[in-house]
C-alpha cells in the first residue's frame, strides 16, 4: 500500500468565516481534506492506517492537509502526540472513543427525488426509537414497518436522536458527535434508505436533534478548545454551549444542514430549546430557522420548550412547538396524577376545554415550580403550531417502570380511546408515541449503557431527578443500566390483531382517515374552533363553510344520553364516529362521539 502524501494548502484569512472541520472528500475526487481547529495544540496530525500525517498550520488555530485517501478510510486526529476521536466525524463505526470513517454522503442513489416535504398542517407525527421499534433495532428493520405507519394514517415519522452516543443502547440524548449517525442502528446508507423509503410512501421524516448540551462520555470538543463552552450559561447537564463562538455556531448549523440536505430529513425537533441560551446579536434558533427554511422544499423546525413563548414562532421563525400543558391537563384528567409537576394543573372537562381554547394553560400566571411567571398568550399562533400528544418518550420514560398511560388500572381502554378521538380530531398537530395506536403492552423505561462509575451515577441520578413522582422511591425504579430494562421496551407487533389492541388500532385508522378526508375536520384554522363543558361533558365545536362538526367526551362516572345537551348548545346530532363503534349518541364513562350537521 502506498503511503499517503499530503498536498499543500492555502492559509486562512483572519477575517474568513469558520471553515468546515473534520474529514471531507474533495469535490474533484482526488482525496480527502482533513481540517482541525484547536487552541490547545501546537502540532496536529491525522493518524491514518497507523501512520501520522502532519497538518499544516494556516493561522487562527486552523490546521489542514489533503491526503490521497477515500471513503472508508479510518482516522483519528493527533494533538501534540496524543490521538483523539474527531468530534466532527460523519461516522464512528467503533463508537464515541474510536476511529472515525471518511464517508461519501453523495454515494447513495436516491429513488424518490420528487419529494418536497409536507406543510405542518398535514403532519401526523409518530415518534419512534429505532432500537426498540422492532426486535432487530435497526434502520432496515424499521424501514420494513413503514407501510404499517402509512396504512395507519401517520404522515410524519420522528426518530429519537441519532447523533452518536456511548454504549450499545440508549435514548440518544447524550450524543457527542452531532453529525455521525449511531452505528449500532446501521450504516449511513441504511439511514438514507429508510428516509428514501418513507418518502416513497408519502411519509415525511423528522429527527430529534440535541443542540443544547453534549453527553458526559466521549465529548472531546474541549480537548480541541475549551472555547466551545462558556461559564456565562449553565444547563442541567453542565456548562453552557457558547453559541457566540463561531466554531460552535457553525458546528450546530452545519449539523442541521447535513441532516436535512444529505440525509434528506424533512425537519428537526429541537430538544429543550429553553436551554439554548444565546447572547449573540442573532439568536442561534433564529439562525437555524433561517438556514433550514432557505434549503428549498418544505423543511420544518419544532421546539420542545415548556416556557409557552409564542415568539419562538413569531420572532425566531420556528414552525411549531411541543405543548406540555395539553399533555399534563389530559394526564391529570384521565389518570388523576397529582405528583411532580402535575400538581400545578387542574383536570376535568373545564380544564380540557380551557387548554384547547387558549392553546396552552400558562400564559403569564405564576409558575410555582420556578417561583416566576410562565408563558404568554398564544393568540398569534394558528392550530398547526401546537403539537399535542397523550404521551411521548419523556412522559412515559419519566416514570419508575416506564408504564404508559393505558397501563394504569383505572385508565380503561374506552377512556383511552375517548382521549385519542379528541387528540386526533383537533386541528392542532397530533403526535403519537410508538405503539400507543394499539395499546402496546411494552413499557418504555429509561435505559442507557454507560460504563463504570458513570453508569452508577446515572442510575442514582435517575432516582433523585424524579424523586417527587410516585413510584420513584426504594427499589421500584428499573435500573437504566440493565440490558433487561432495554429489552422490556421492544414493541410486540404480534399483539396488534388481538382484542382491545385491535379495537384501538381500528379507531386510530378510522379517526385519522376522517382527519384527512372529512371536509370540516381537515380544516386547520384555529378561529373555527371553540370548546367548553357542561359539567363533566367536554364539547368541542368545529365550524367552517363546509359545515359543522362537534365532539362530546364524557368525563363523568355515569352513562348519559346527551340529546338534551345537544339541543341546548345547538350542536349537530348526526353520528359521524363513536369511539366504541356504535351508531347512537349514548356515552358511557370515558367514551367520545363525533357529530356532524345534517345534510
Q: Which positions are catalytic? A: 271, 304
Q: Which residues of 412-438 are buried (b: 16+ CB within 10 A; e: fewer)?
A: bbbbbbbbbbbbbbbbbbbbbbbbbbb
How far is it, in rounded angstroms, from Cα 96 to Cα 104? 20
Cell digits of residue 152:
395507519
Q: Which three cell numbers stand for residue 1?
A: 500500500
- Distance, CA of 303 to CA of 320 (rounded, Å): 6
d(Cα 335, Cα 348) in Å, to the nearest integer?
11
Please tell me whether residue 7 adopts helix, strand or coil conformation. Answer: strand
For 291, the grid coordinates are 438556514
CB-CB contact of 524 with 383 (8 Å): yes
DSSP letter (8 states) at residue 427 = S
Closest to 138 in 3D by CA, of 105, 183, 103, 98: 183
Q: Which residue has the cell 408519502?
A: 202
Residues 6+ apart with CB under 8 A from 314: 380, 381
Half-sphere exposure of 294 (CA within 13 A, CB side): 9
Among the listed residues 136, 144, 181, the one whose alpha carbon sits nearest the alpha carbon of residue 159: 181
Residue 311: Cβ within 10 Å count = 13
Q: Which phi and psi (to 5°) does residue 198 adopt?
A: -60, -45
Residue among 550, 98, 71, 593 nearest 356 (CA): 550
Amino acid at each position: 500500500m502506498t503511503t499517503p502524501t499530503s498536498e499543500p494548502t492555502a492559509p486562512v484569512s483572519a477575517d474568513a468565516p469558520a471553515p468546515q472541520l473534520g474529514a471531507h472528500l474533495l469535490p474533484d475526487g482526488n482525496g480527502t481534506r482533513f481540517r482541525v481547529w484547536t487552541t490547545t495544540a501546537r502540532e496536529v496530525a491525522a493518524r491514518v492506517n497507523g501512520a501520522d500525517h502532519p497538518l499544516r498550520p494556516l493561522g487562527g488555530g486552523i490546521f489542514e492537509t489533503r491526503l490521497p485517501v477515500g471513503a472508508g478510510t479510518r482516522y483519528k486526529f493527533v494533538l501534540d502526540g496524543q490521538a483523539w476521536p474527531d468530534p466532527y466525524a460523519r461516522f464512528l463505526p467503533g463508537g464515541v472513543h474510536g476511529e472515525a470513517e471518511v464517508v461519501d454522503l453523495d454515494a447513495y442513489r436516491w429513488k424518490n427525488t420528487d419529494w418536497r416535504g409536507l406543510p405542518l398542517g398535514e403532519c401526523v407525527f409518530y415518534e419512534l426509537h429505532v432500537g426498540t421499534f422492532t426486535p432487530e433495532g435497526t434502520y432496515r428493520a424499521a424501514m420494513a414497518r413503514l407501510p404499517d405507519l402509512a396504512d395507519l394514517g401517520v404522515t410524519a415519522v420522528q426518530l429519537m436522536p441519532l447523533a452518536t452516543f456511548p454504549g450499545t443502547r440508549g435514548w440518544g440524548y447524550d450524543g457527542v458527535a452531532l453529525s455521525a449517525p449511531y452505528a449500532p442502528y446501521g450504516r449511513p446508507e441504511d439511514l438514507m434508505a429508510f428516509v428514501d423509503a418513507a418518502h416513497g410512501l408519502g411519509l415525511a421524516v423528522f429527527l430529534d436533534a440535541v443542540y443544547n448540551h453534549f453527553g458526559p462520555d466521549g465529548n472531546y470538543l474541549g480537548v480541541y478548545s475549551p472555547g466551545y463552552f462558556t461559564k456565562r450559561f449553565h444547563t442541567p447537564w453542565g456548562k453552557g454551549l457558547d453559541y457566540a463562538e463561531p466554531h460552535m455556531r457553525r458546528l450546530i448549523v452545519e449539523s442541521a444542514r447535513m441532516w436535512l440536505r444529505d440525509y434528506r430529513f424533512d425537519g428537526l425537533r429541537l430538544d429543550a430549546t429553553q436551554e439554548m441560551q444565546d447572547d449573540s446579536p442573532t439568536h442561534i434558533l433564529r439562525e437555524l430557522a433561517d438556514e433550514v427554511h432557505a434549503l428549498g422544499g418544505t423543511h420544518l423546525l419544532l421546539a420542545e420548550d415548556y416556557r409557552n413563548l409564542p415568539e419562538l414562532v413569531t420572532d425566531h421563525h420556528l414552525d411549531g412547538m411541543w405543548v406540555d400543558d395539553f399533555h399534563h391537563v389530559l394526564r391529570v384528567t384521565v389518570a388523576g396524577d397529582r405528583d411532580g409537576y402535575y400538581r400545578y394543573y387542574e383536570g376535568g372537562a373545564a380544564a380540557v376545554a380551557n387548554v384547547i381554547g387558549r392553546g396552552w394553560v400558562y400564559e403569564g400566571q405564576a409558575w410555582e415550580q420556578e417561583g416566576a411567571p410562565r408563558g404568554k398568550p398564544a393568540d398569534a399562533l394558528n392550530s398547526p403550531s401546537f403539537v399535542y400528544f397523550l404521551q411521548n418518550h419523556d412522559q412515559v420514560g419519566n416514570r419508575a417502570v416506564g408504564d404508559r398511560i393505558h397501563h394504569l388500572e383505572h385508565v380503561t381502554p374506552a377512556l383511552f380511546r375517548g382521549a385519542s378521538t379528541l387528540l386526533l380530531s383537533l386541528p392542532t398537530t397530533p403526535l403519537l408515541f410508538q405503539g400507543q395506536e394499539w395499546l402496546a403492552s411494552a413499557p418504555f423505561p429509561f435505559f442507557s449503557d454507560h460504563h463504570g462509575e458513570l453508569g452508577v451515577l446515572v442510575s442514582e441520578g435517575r432516582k433523585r431527578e424524579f424523586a417527587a413522582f410516585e413510584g420513584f422511591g426504594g427499589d421500584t425504579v428499573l435500573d437504566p443500566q440493565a440490558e433487561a430494562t432495554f429489552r422490556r421496551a421492544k414493541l410486540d407487533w404480534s399483539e396488534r390483531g388481538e382484542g382491545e389492541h385491535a379495537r384501538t388500532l381500528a379507531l386510530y385508522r378510522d379517526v385519522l382517515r376522517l382527519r384527512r378526508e372529512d371536509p370540516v375536520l381537515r380544516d386547520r384554522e384555529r378561529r373555527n374552533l371553540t370548546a367548553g363543558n357542561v359539567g363533566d361533558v367536554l364539547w368541542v365545536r368545529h365550524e367552517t363553510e363546509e359545515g359543522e362538526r362537534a365532539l362530546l367526551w364524557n368525563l363523568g362516572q355515569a352513562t348519559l344520553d346527551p340529546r338534551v345537551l345537544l339541543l341546548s348548545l345547538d350542536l349537530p346530532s348526526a353520528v359521524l364516529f363513536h369511539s366504541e363503534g356504535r351508531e347512537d349518541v349514548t356515552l358511557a364513562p370515558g367514551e367520545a362521539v363525533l357529530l356532524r350537521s345534517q345534510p
